[in-house]
Amino acid sequence: MTRIPVISGAIFACALGLGSTKAELLSNGRWVDLSHAFSAETIYWPTAEPFKLQTVFAGTTEAGYYYSAYNFSAAEHGGTHIDAPVHFAEEQRSVDEIPIGQLIGPAVVIDVAQAAAADRNYQVTVADFKAWEAEHGRLPDGAIVLLNTGSAKLWPNREAYMGTAQRGEEAVAELHFPGLHPDAARWLVNSRDIGAIGLDTPSIDYGQSQRFESHRILFEGDVPAFENVTNLDELPATGATAVALPMKIKGGSGGPLRIVAFVPAS
């Protein structure tokens, strides 16, 4: 039986080239998977090609041993994925050009689940960030900012999660889910120095957006976005470390993302 090695926080710290003090901080704790699995249930934008898995072979070969292989296809943007800056900003970085260091950093969780439960069109505001800073201090440079709107618990129910289960161009007008207000996106780009931002909805702009201003502001400022993230309620407001590594698609505007976080023992 094959045993899968468990990477400890200490090994993780060494791999990042951290000093002994930080390595000690990462030596005890737990990993949290912030990614949805890809399957036929995976939620994609109403106009996007969904995830498909085709069996090449699965079973016992003529030689008597087990073998399985599959082909998969999907749009770049769906499931837990990254939006690279070039997605909405011409001549900005594609997904393969984003520095790895920008995708690894202190995880900051802004919890707006209560406000989003009362309003599925809620947009995270500058006031939400300032309230977080009043309690926890200034957003650290290089932070991976994660917005917990409480939407992950609705996955994979498309209608509850997105506002509609319909597909096609006509369904876009029926989308309802929380996002980041353009004023807050502008504040983050102009007043803070974050590495990336993510949330547990299909888009960094709220469902009823028609101009996708938060996308444009963030990406012109070279801040990538993670969408359809999950398990944010398992992270503390501060203190965790996020690692977000996307499929390295040359010239891609985005791609599937495996994002995890290490939470030190308290």
87 and 108 part of one domain = yes
Residues ≥6 apart with Cβ < 8 Å to 46: 162, 164, 166, 167, 168, 169, 171, 172, 175
Residues 200 and 80: beta-carbon distance below 8 Å: no
Looking up tokens 């909805």, which residue turns up?
A: 201
Residues ≥6 apart with Cβ < 8 Å to 65: none
Q: How many domains does the chain have?
A: 2
Per DSSP, what are the bridge partners of residue 225? 83, 197
10 domain residue, yes or no = yes
27 and 43 part of one domain = no
CA separation for the pair 85, 112 (Å, rounded): 25
CA separation for the pair 145, 155 (Å, rounded): 21
123 and 248 part of one domain = yes
Residues 164 and 47: beta-carbon distance below 8 Å: no
- Full domain range(s) for residue 9: 1-31
Report pTM.
0.90
Phi, psi of 262 (to 5 degrees): -105, 125
57 domain residue, yes or no = no
Q: Kindly give the interhelix angle for 182-191 and 126-136, rounded to the nearest 10 degrees.
A: 50
64 domain residue, yes or no = no
pLDDT at 141: 98
Looking up tokens 């995976």, which residue turns up?
A: 42
Q: What does the pLDDT profile of the chain (266 residues) look like in tens digits?
A: 333 334 445 545 544 555 555 556 567 999 999 999 999 999 999 999 999 999 999 999 999 999 999 999 999 999 999 999 999 999 999 999 999 999 999 999 999 999 999 999 999 999 999 999 999 999 999 999 999 999 999 999 999 999 999 999 999 999 999 999 999 999 999 999 999 999 999 999 999 999 999 999 999 999 999 999 999 999 999 999 999 999 999 999 999 999 999 999 98
Phi, psi of 66 (to 5 degrees): -80, 145
pLDDT at 266: 81
Q: Kindly give the interhelix angle for 213-220 and 182-191, rounded to the nearest 10 degrees.
A: 10
pLDDT at 139: 98
